[in-house]
Chain A
Amino acid sequence: MTQPISILLCALGGEGGGVLTDWLVEAARHAGYPVQATSIPGVAQRTGATTYYLEIFPQLQSELGERRVVLGLNPLPGRLDLLVSSELLETARQVANGLSSVQRTRIITAGNRVLTTQEKMQMGDGRLDEASLLQVVQQQGQACHVLDMAGMTREAGTVVSAVMLGSMAACGLLPMQRRDYEAAIGQGSASQQASLRGFALGWEAVQQQRTQAQFLAELLPEPPIADAAPGLPETWQREFPAALHEVLGHARARLLDYQDQAYVDLYRERLRQVLAREQQTAPAECTATQEVARWLALWMAFDDIVRVADLKSRAQRLERVRQEVKAKDDDVLRVYDHFKPGLPEIAALLPTAWAQRLLQWEQRRLARGLPAKSWPLKIGTHSVIGMLLLRLLASLRRVRRWGSRYAQEQSLIEDWLAAVHAGLQQSHALGLEMARCGRLIKGYGSTQERGRDNLLHILQHLGSAAATASPEDRARAIQHAREAALKDEAGTSLDQVLQAHGAPARPLKVQPILWAGRRPRGLTQ
């Protein structure tokens, strides 16, 4: 018995799924095949996932005469003929719902991702593994076309629906001819022309399996590191194992750019000591040193207003912005940077004694319920005055060493390195985990403060020799704690892990709260 061809389209709100459905219906009608479509648009103008479902009967209505085909409104799991999707996670979702089957379903999917909020909002890297999604999709279809739909859409200057239509038309499953689809799109206006370009690109992509294979190959391995490692002097190469060279090349360049040669030497000396300690414990190993090499470089190049001003006032930065916002050569471009320096940022550049006095004054203000002092600034980096200001700030690099922040960071770095040394002395695993905790340090302001407090707390309570457990157990505890520390801002997961391993939860931080609580009724007010 002839059965209708069933097609499920997945798109995100605003991607033209409705238009695509209309085109398909129109193309089928143009060719004379019975067709029916329906959709679950939901709140479709937004970015939620939406699906459209079509059935096309592959026999001409003219051959069927008066007989009317009954077409369905829901996809049948496993009996789907074509699954087309503009986003890889949505394809995987339908596959996970059991809709596609190896026996029957042809899959045409974008290899591109549009990240969900849940993935984006994580403190570390919450993105799904694309290779896993691809594997799932490829294993559950009779044939699978993975296309760079986003790229083709950009190239054609259209909406992804046109590319999807072209790819469906070319896959050989539908009875309509190319002219039917093109008639459905029409060709009068500029947007119709763009749609036709997108259609053609989608068509060719499916016909040329080879390009798909290339795109897949680009997609699957880890993205290549952007810059090749800058050269490393021979003395360094002799001193450190080859596994470290790439990181060291970047680290050295970073610190030279950040401060000066003396600072680079300090880095090298610190790392040398870690390596020596590691090789005493485990002569064949250098993993702990490798971890330290990365995190130490980033920590030593800590972010402050001097650094930010420097980065924001470079010529290559303005060029990058120009490209990002797609400004043409004869367009006027104005760039404003959002800064909000507070007293801590200023104190960072002052000598320790002055800085402390300033911060104490701030503390007293906060205790009185006053808001923290800060200055929201919008600086026009394209303007002469704005640029002068930034360059002036950047030039403070020379006095950075005398600032309180510098002293504080160096002392914390020494604490961390001491903990790594102590850890390595007891067991390699413990030292390695402590080295990896360097990852917790990043950013500015409250982000940086939170990372630092977490690091110190973990080192103190899970790393110290006083803990009764074996070094291996403590290494595991530290690993769990580090992972938990990256889970939520409030530190709920971290506290749970700490307590599970017998350590105290992080101490409550004193924070002024504006309180407007009401008293229970009946009490005199």
Chain B
Amino acid sequence: MEVSFSKEIEQLRMGAGETFHGEGILAITKALLQSGVAYVGGYQGAPVSHLLDVMVQAKSYMDELGVHVEACANEASAAAMLGASIHYPLRGAVTWKSIVGTNVAADALSNLSSPGVKGGVLVVVGEDYGEGASVIQERTHAYALKSGMLLLDPRPDLSRMVDMVEHAFRLSEASNMPALMELRIRACHVRGSFVAKDNQAPAISTRQLMTQPARFDYNRLAHPPVTFGHEKLKYQERLPAARRYIEAHGLNEFFAGEHADLGIIVQGGLYNTLIRALQQFDLADAFGESKIPLLVLNVTSPLVPEQIANFCLNKRSVLVMEEGQPEYIEQEIATLLRRRDIQTPLHGKDWLPQGGEYTAEAMAQGLQSWSERYLPQTPVAAQAAQWLQDNRERRLAVAEQLKARGQTLPARPPSFCIGCPERPVFSAIKLAQQAIGPLHVSADIGCHALGTFEPFSTGHTILGYGMSLASRAGVSPAMQQRVLSIMGDGGFWHNGLLTGVQSALFNGDDAVLLIFKNGYTSATGTQDIISTPADAAKLVAADKLQSLAHTNQTIERTLLGLGVQWLRTVHTYEVETMRATLLDAFTSDFKGLKVIVAEGECQLERQRRIKPWLAQLLKKGQRVQRVKYGVDEDVCNGDHACIRLSGCPTLTLKDNPDPLKVDPVATVIDGCVGCGLCGANAHAATLCPSFYRAEVVQNAGLWERLVQRLRSRWVRALQPA
């Protein structure tokens, strides 16, 4: 990747007493080093990508400390890496996006949790839940429960988060349980500060090697019959040990309040929002002093029964604020109270929304019902009701105002970048379907999933990262036409090669696979993969403007090696060639797996390379050519067929300058990188002839300028006004 994290790396070096200012996820990264972590791995994905990105770039510092960093092929390989801590006192941390990453890692996590760990293990999961999430809405909590892992959900305060990382390793070691730490999107991106400590170089490390492997110990294998013993260990020894540690070190926090006969139990990650909600009804002040006693669970699994029971005893009621469904914590508390015959009324999901992010407004709904019953002498319920009603009324008023004027606000989903190499392929797919009829398209995770949005609206299913070819296996045998599977190179290496390609070849499936070879896992932040153009190729490329995806042939060689017989590589911007290749794949007599590699380097990465290069050339006064496309406003027919085939952010509309015409005309605004799609589409789709390609040469040579001058004199003579 071309992004530099040098500033962030500097912050990782901070010593005791210095104040760290920055994002939550970077604070966590620093905390790992303060905890003496020996190895770090993971798979990129919002909102935790930065943890790994920064560590990978900080290689020389990591080598100094002796910390091994690995960019794993997928979450399963990251989780398997944690096996190092089964036998050896190594602290290990991995990271990924949850719930999807945890799903992929589940097998290794189960097999890790069963024998248990000697060195502390921490999995930092980006909880992709609520506003801004890009995956299915499920809870990671279930994994902690079923596999017997610790689950930490710290208050989104940088100092507390850092403390909790350090505790997590110790807690993991005290209980032999792997720990998960869930960080919500907003917590990962929270900008705050904390006072740093010195980093700890691990005792065993890439600098301090072990001389001997551990002795053979069947008990540490996840293999019968010892797995039966592991299961007992989980509840007989590990959970009690974890509970003792949590209680002894005060990981969960108790805050007293004037209404001592009431209480709220809240997940740590929701604490700030709860305080802001309570403030609205004068139940808390700016410093978090709450009038209602709070039990803040920085560790949400396991719960400490004594702690919960003591908190609930002698209270008129306890309210549980637990985000997501089902309400595991509330159910466990209910069971616990019932078993101990504690009669404190318990509320939670009966009054709070079942699903969705717990914003202050969601919390206010619960607080309203709860205070109506338990704080009837205060104005809290009335205030909450008023606030909620005002919100409803305001929204309704705006909706009606817009409706009266015939307006609905269109969504603005993300779209392919300007000049993205994947956009032209969707143009070609749209055009190809004009010739062969509609296709079933099996889509995938990655930037190309943006092809499911307008103007392409292409794709029937998304079954997971790298799953598009596999998810077609049941469709194509029952379909007359062949099925198109779309996969990115990220997905191909993450999973698709084995679950899709290998399976299709083994079963002799008649399938069509289109692989976007843009050279990076772009959707997660353009991380490098095995098929990324090598630095050497970037260095020797004379023309820095060109795509370098072709310089790495790992995907093609792998496919050929596996036995793929029908393989075509097409440059993505050649829309007509891509259309013809798709038609070929769909009409060919060849009955096996047909693979089209759509080659074109990620434009984001290219631009990050190109911009400084051009700036440098201009500074030196050297020749620079830039390309921009444009639309002739008097030729454009105002039908916008070009936009329906592109959706490029720089291809937009403006008022028709022609006083007789009414429909707005297309226009290309600043920012166009001259990728060529407009021209390729105009040809492939026979659009109206309004597009032009302009090449502007700055600092042209003497000869070039002379030719231009002569030429324009002639051209001018030919032109009418």
Chain A residues in 8 Å Cβ range of B455:
117, 121
Whether B643 and A325, one on each chain, are in contact in the complex, defined by CB atoms closer than 8 angstroms, is no
In the complex, whether B207 has a CB less than 8 A from a CB of chain A is no
Closest chain A CB from B682 CB (angstroms): 4
Whether A444 and B280, one on each chain, are in contact in the complex, defined by CB atoms closer than 8 angstroms, is no
In the complex, whether B647 has a CB less than 8 A from a CB of chain A is yes
Closest chain A CB from B393 CB (angstroms): 9
Check A444/B689 contact, CB under 8 A, given A43-B134, A321-B694.
yes
Whether B134 and A297, one on each chain, are in contact in the complex, defined by CB atoms closer than 8 angstroms, is no
Whether B659 and A331, one on each chain, are in contact in the complex, defined by CB atoms closer than 8 angstroms, is no
In the complex, whether A336 has a CB less than 8 A from a CB of chain B is yes
- One of A125, A314, A325 near B694 (C-beta < 8 A): A325
In the complex, whether B345 has a CB less than 8 A from a CB of chain A is no
Check A335/B641 contact, CB under 8 A, given A36-B192, A78-B394.
no
In the complex, whether A193 has a CB less than 8 A from a CB of chain B is no
Chain A residues in 8 Å Cβ range of B222:
none
In the complex, whether B720 has a CB less than 8 A from a CB of chain A is yes
Residues of A367-421 at the interface with B, using a CB-CB cut-off of 8 Å, are 374, 376, 378, 381-384, 387-388, 391
Chain A residues in 8 Å Cβ range of B678:
338
In the complex, whether B256 has a CB less than 8 A from a CB of chain A is no
Contacting chain B: which of A134-142, A425-433, A473-481? A134-142
Whether A382 and B415, one on each chain, are in contact in the complex, defined by CB atoms closer than 8 angstroms, is no
Closest residue of A by beta carbon distance from B623: A332
- One of A121, A312, A338 near B640 (C-beta < 8 A): A121
Whether A338 and B286, one on each chain, are in contact in the complex, defined by CB atoms closer than 8 angstroms, is no
Check A97/B395 contact, CB under 8 A, given A74-B273, A74-B359, A78-B387.
yes
In the complex, whether B664 has a CB less than 8 A from a CB of chain A is yes
Check A117/B189 contact, CB under 8 A, given A13-B414, A391-B718.
no
- One of A96, A124, A335, A445 near B398 (C-beta < 8 A): A96
Whether B481 and A72, one on each chain, are in contact in the complex, defined by CB atoms closer than 8 angstroms, is no
In the complex, whether A106 has a CB less than 8 A from a CB of chain B is no
Whether B643 and A117, one on each chain, are in contact in the complex, defined by CB atoms closer than 8 angstroms, is yes
Chain B residues in 8 Å Cβ range of A342:
686
Chain A residues in 8 Å Cβ range of B409:
89, 92-93, 96, 128
Give CA–CA (A132, B714) in the complex, Å.
51
Whether A382 and B652, one on each chain, are in contact in the complex, defined by CB atoms closer than 8 angstroms, is no
Check A42/B414 contact, CB under 8 A, given A96-B395, A120-B652, A374-B686.
yes
Give CA–CA (A230, B453) in the complex, Å.
45
Give CA–CA (A107, B56) in the complex, Å.
42
Contacting chain A: which of B334-342, B493-501, B557-565, B704-712? B704-712
Chain B residues in 8 Å Cβ range of A489:
641, 644
Mark contacts of B346-370 with chain A using CB atoms, 8 A cut-off: 1 yes-contact digit, 0 otherwise: 0000000000010111000000000
Contacting chain B: which of A179-187, A279-287, A348-356, A510-518? A510-518
In the complex, whether A216 has a CB less than 8 A from a CB of chain B is no
Contacting chain B: which of A1-9, A166-174, A201-209, A498-506? A1-9
Whether A338 and B641, one on each chain, are in contact in the complex, defined by CB atoms closer than 8 angstroms, is no
In the complex, whether A465 has a CB less than 8 A from a CB of chain B is no
Give CA–CA (A49, B411) in the complex, Å.
9
Contacting chain A: which of B9-17, B74-82, B533-541, B629-637? B629-637
Contacting chain B: which of A63-71, A259-267, A452-460? A63-71
Give CA–CA (A70, B708) in the complex, Å.
66
Chain B residues in 8 Å Cβ range of A518:
480-482, 510
Chain B residues in 8 Å Cβ range of A312:
632, 635, 689, 692
In the complex, whether A234 has a CB less than 8 A from a CB of chain B is no
Give CA–CA (A119, B662) in the complex, Å.
16
Whether B412 and A445, one on each chain, are in contact in the complex, defined by CB atoms closer than 8 angstroms, is no
Number of A-B contacts (CB under 8 A): 370
Among A95, A227, A342, A442: residue with most chain B CB under 10 A = A442
Check A517/B481 contact, CB under 8 A, given A336-B693, A337-B692, A444-B637.
yes
Closest residue of A by beta carbon distance from B693: A336
Whether A49 and B391, one on each chain, are in contact in the complex, defined by CB atoms closer than 8 angstroms, is no
Whether B692 and A340, one on each chain, are in contact in the complex, defined by CB atoms closer than 8 angstroms, is no
Closest chain B CB from A169 CB (angstroms): 19
- One of B576, B630, B658 near A325 (C-beta < 8 A): B630
Give CA–CA (A294, B647) in the complex, Å.
31
Give CA–CA (A374, B576) in the complex, Å.
13
Chain A residues in 8 Å Cβ range of B330:
none
Chain B residues in 8 Å Cβ range of A135:
401, 405
Contacting chain A: which of B85-93, B228-236, B372-380, B695-703? B695-703
- One of B191, B477, B705, B716 near A38 (C-beta < 8 A): B191
Closest chain B CB from A50 CB (angstroms): 8
Closest chain B CB from A192 CB (angstroms): 15
Closest chain A CB from B120 CB (angstroms): 28
Give CA–CA (A133, B634) in the complex, Å.
30
Chain A residues in 8 Å Cβ range of B189:
38-41
Contacting chain B: which of A21-29, A237-245, A268-276, A357-365? A21-29
In the complex, whether A163 has a CB less than 8 A from a CB of chain B is no
In the complex, whether B213 has a CB less than 8 A from a CB of chain A is no
Check A383/B638 contact, CB under 8 A, given A132-B407, A325-B630.
no
- One of B134, B632, B639, B695 near A443 (C-beta < 8 A): B639
Whether A516 and B643, one on each chain, are in contact in the complex, defined by CB atoms closer than 8 angstroms, is no
In the complex, whether A31 has a CB less than 8 A from a CB of chain B is no
Residues of A301-336 at the interface with B, using a CB-CB cut-off of 8 Å, are 303, 305, 308, 311-318, 320-321, 324-328, 330-336
Residues of A33-64 at the interface with B, using a CB-CB cut-off of 8 Å, are 36-43, 45-49, 53, 57
In the complex, whether B268 has a CB less than 8 A from a CB of chain A is no
Whether B694 and A334, one on each chain, are in contact in the complex, defined by CB atoms closer than 8 angstroms, is yes
- One of A136, A229, A332 near B705 (C-beta < 8 A): A332
Give CA–CA (A133, B409) in the complex, Å.
9
Closest chain B CB from A342 CB (angstroms): 7
Chain B residues in 8 Å Cβ range of A297:
660
In the complex, whether A487 has a CB less than 8 A from a CB of chain B is no
- One of B398, B405, B715 near A95 (C-beta < 8 A): B398
Check A73/B273 contact, CB under 8 A, given A128-B407, A332-B705.
yes
Give CA–CA (A193, B712) in the complex, Å.
38
Closest chain A CB from B592 CB (angstroms): 13
Give CA–CA (A250, B660) in the complex, Å.
7
Chain A residues in 8 Å Cβ range of B277:
76
Closest chain A CB from B567 CB (angstroms): 19
In the complex, whether A231 has a CB less than 8 A from a CB of chain B is no
Whether B407 and A3, one on each chain, are in contact in the complex, defined by CB atoms closer than 8 angstroms, is no
In the complex, whether A468 has a CB less than 8 A from a CB of chain B is no
In the complex, whether B402 has a CB less than 8 A from a CB of chain A is yes
In the complex, whether B683 has a CB less than 8 A from a CB of chain A is yes
Chain B residues in 8 Å Cβ range of A317:
632, 634
In the complex, whether B46 has a CB less than 8 A from a CB of chain A is yes
Pull 15 A–B residue pairs with CB atoms less than 8 Å apart, ordered by A: A43-B523, A72-B273, A76-B280, A117-B647, A120-B640, A250-B660, A297-B660, A311-B634, A312-B689, A315-B716, A315-B719, A325-B628, A330-B705, A338-B691, A514-B583
> Taking beta carbons and an 8 Å cutoff, which residues of A are in contact with B?
1-4, 12-13, 21-22, 25, 29, 36-43, 45-49, 53, 57, 67-74, 76-79, 89-90, 92-93, 95-98, 101, 114-125, 127-129, 132-133, 135-136, 139-140, 223, 225-227, 229, 246-247, 250-251, 254, 294, 297-298, 303, 305, 308, 311-318, 320-321, 324-328, 330-340, 342, 374, 376, 378, 381-384, 387-388, 391, 439, 442-448, 489, 513-518, 521
> Taking beta carbons and an 8 Å cutoff, which residues of B are in contact with A?
21, 46-47, 131-132, 134, 156-157, 185-187, 189-192, 271-273, 275-277, 279-280, 282, 285-288, 357, 359-361, 387, 390-392, 394-395, 398-399, 401-402, 405-407, 409-417, 435-437, 447, 450, 453-455, 477, 480-482, 510, 523, 576, 583, 586-588, 604, 628, 630, 632-635, 637-641, 643-644, 647, 649, 651-653, 655, 657-664, 668, 670, 678-679, 682-683, 686, 688-689, 691-698, 700, 704-705, 708, 711-712, 714-716, 718-721
The 10 closest A-B pairs by CB, nearest first: A443-B637, A48-B414, A40-B132, A72-B276, A517-B480, A332-B697, A70-B288, A376-B683, A516-B587, A118-B410
